[in-house]
Amino acid sequence: GTADLDCDVLVLGAGPGGYSAAFRAADLGLKVVLVERYATLGGVCLNVGCIPSKALLHVAAVMDEVSHFEALGVSFGKPVVNIEKLRAHKDKVVGKLTGGLAAMAKIRKVTTVRGYGSFVGANHVQVEETTGDGQEKTGKTQTIAFKNCIIAAGSQAVRLPFMPQDPRVVDSTGALNLQSVPKRMLVLGGGIIGLEMGTVYSTLGARLDVVEMLDGLMLGADRDLVKVWQKLNAPRFDNIMLKTKTVGARATAAGIEVTFASAGEGGSAPAPQTYDLVLQAVGRSPNGKKIGAEKAGVAVSDRGFIPVDIQMRTNVPHIFAIGDIVGQPMLAHKAVHEAHVAAEVIAGELQGNRELASTAFNARVIPSVAYTDPEVAWVGLTEDQARAEGIKVRKGLFPWTASGRAIANGRDEGFTKLLFDDSPEAHGHGRILGGGIVGTHAGDMIGEIALAIEMGADAVDIGKTIHPHPTLGESIGMAAEVAHGSCTDLP
Ligand code: FAD
């Protein structure tokens, strides 16, 4: 059929994956159409994810920090929180960034189309115009023809089927909306998103419970790191319920009454509890089944993921997919790197540039960060994984009680840990395989360890790299020296 618009690349969804793909494709000279159902670009990350959560977490971290200052000889009054103003601050941060994206799209001559896109064939997407929050449709549609497509339709929060429809039950988007501070809050799910939002509410005055089906919080992170986090954060919680399932909930005048059951051996089955706010943070599910993929012949897994190869290509050679919709880890920085690969492969193929066309996603590692207080950051192999996989590792651990800067900051609870290959073939010069940091600013430092892993650095490379003194980043060099066996003199 005829199309209203045509392009070299149609990008479906304008999150970190989608806008990065669109911008890179445009920079490489392609004609790009970017389809997004929301009014603003930026997807989950900018609008209701990474950025607004960090705006609130920063405020919470400063509040927590100064609350300990009396012992240092400086006291502030009890904080007075104006929730409307705080929410407005967060919205302004988001607005600045999404506005910046819109301007960048314009400069690059990326055509943005507002609406809900679905495939109607292998080379056509139909877009139904949306308004408001992106759910309402105006009834207007247009068909866009493409040579290539990049699916970047992301994911959405999982809702437990038995949760009542009630303003006191929210997902992360609702929690970020920050209407009031509850007295008692249940965080359902002990992952990063739940614990970050729990941190914000707890600093603002809420008492927290957390319930997690599996046997630990922040699973995926090295247990040693989490132990430090948990010890410092214990005062925020009334109950940390591990190996516990949430099996029912009902709305009452007093609050949301939630019932629990044991999730396997060693689990607990606490009595029902009533909460003023329940945050569902039990994971995110990909949007693969909501875009008419079958009309384009694109394969989608039962769970809604779209399988791709290392060039981000789906089973249909001219259609690519990136970001949360292709699988774990569901992180913005992964989406951005996948986006660049897809855009470059397409440009390379359309322009007959073999080198560009052979680009592939081959990151060795993808770092993770919980922006809690203290922060927990990790990348590559953990000690548990090494043990499970029978990989022999040499450990370099540097406690921040020996870091001049951490002590000066009054925040020496953290540590930096590096793991090096200690297999016989490595002859004592094994490469770095993983690392983790717990402590203030851990997230800002983990990139160095990721770089070291990508470069195949060993303990000598890292230990002999001169880090500035006194910094927290120095702890990475020190941990490497510990692993290598040399003693360090600098406190
Ligand atoms: P998304 O950001 O989900 O974007 C997909 C876009 O596609 C959306 O804008 C959606 O409206 C649009 N769309 C979907 N279907 C259609 C359609 N049919 N037609 C038109 N448009 C469509 N990650 C980090 O790395 N660091 C963090 O600190 C972090 N914090 C987070 C905090 C929270 C509270 C949440 C919820 C997530 C957080 N994440 C974080 C995860 C991060 O937001 C995601 O990994 C990232 O946004 C994924 O990018 P994406 O481009 O794949 O998809």
* Mutation test residue for ligand 1: of 24, 38, 44, 116, the one with most atoms within 8 Å of CB: 44
Q: Does residue 45's CB lie within 6 angstroms of at least one atom of ligand 1?
A: yes
- Residue 46 CA to ligand 1 center (angstroms) comes to 8
- Which tens digit of pLDDT belongs to each residue from 337-353? 999 999 999 999 999 99
Please tell me if the CB atom of residue 50 comes closer than 6 angstroms to any atom of ligand 1.
yes
Sign, CA torsion 44/49/50/54 = positive
ipTM for the predicted complex comes to 0.99
User: Which residue is associated with the tokens 């051996």?
Assistant: 265
Q: How far is CA 478 from CA 227, 228, 399, 439, 446, in A?
A: 22, 19, 9, 15, 15
168 CB-contact burial (10 Å; exposed 0-12 / middle 13-18 / buried 19+): middle
Closest-CA residue, ligand 1 atom 29, reads: 50
Q: How far is the CA of 376 from the centre of ligand 1 (A)?
A: 22
Locate the ligand 1 atom nearest the alpha carbon of residue 117 and give its number.
19
- Looking at the CA of residue 35, tell me the nearest atom of ligand 1: 20
Average pLDDT on 427-442 reads 96
pLDDT tens by residue, 120-132: 999 999 999 999 8
Indicate if ligand 1 lies below 6 Å from the C-beta of 291: yes
Interval between CA 53 and ligand 1 midpoint (Å):
13
For residue 43, which atom of ligand 1 is closest to its CA?
9
> Is the distance from the beta carbon of residue 378 to the nearest atom of ligand 1 less than 6 Å?
no
For residue 488, pLDDT over 50 is answered with no
Whether the predicted model's global pTM rises above the 0.90 cut:
yes
Closest alpha carbon to 128 in 120, 136, 117: 117
Q: How confident is the model at residue 487 (pLDDT cuts 50, 70, 90)?
A: very low
Nearest CA to ligand 1 atom 46: 332
3-state secondary structure of 150: strand
- Ligand 1 site, residue 332, Cβ cutoff 6 A: yes
Q: Which residue is closest in CA terms to ligand 1's atom 8?
A: 43
Six token digits for residue 250: 């009902």
Atom of ligand 1 nearest to the CA of 45: 43
Lowest-pLDDT choice from 128-137, 171-180, 222-231, 338-347: 128-137
CA of 155 to the centre of ligand 1 (A): 6
pLDDT at position 1: 54
Q: How far is the CA of 62 from the centre of ligand 1 (A)?
A: 27
Residues 6+ apart with CB under 8 A from 387: none
C-beta 49 within 6 A of ligand 1 = yes
Average pLDDT over residues 293-317: 98
Catalytic center residues:
469
Nearest residue to 325 (alpha-carbon basis) of 317, 335, 333: 335
Closest CA to 287 of 118, 48, 53: 118
| 395, 396, 401, 403: CA torsion to nearest 10 | -160
pLDDT attached to residue 2: 80
Residue 418 identity: L
> What pLDDT does 337 receive?
98
C-alpha of residue 16 to centroid of ligand 1, in Å: 7
470 pLDDT more than 60: yes
Q: Hey, what's the torsion of the CAs at 324, 328, 331, 336, to 10 degrees?
A: -60
Please give the distance, rounded to the nearest whole angstrom, from the Cα atom of residue 285 to the centre of ligand 1: 11
Once rounded to an integer, what is the mean pLDDT over residues 206-215?
97
pLDDT tens column, 19-56: 999 999 999 999 999 999 999 999 999 999 999 999 99
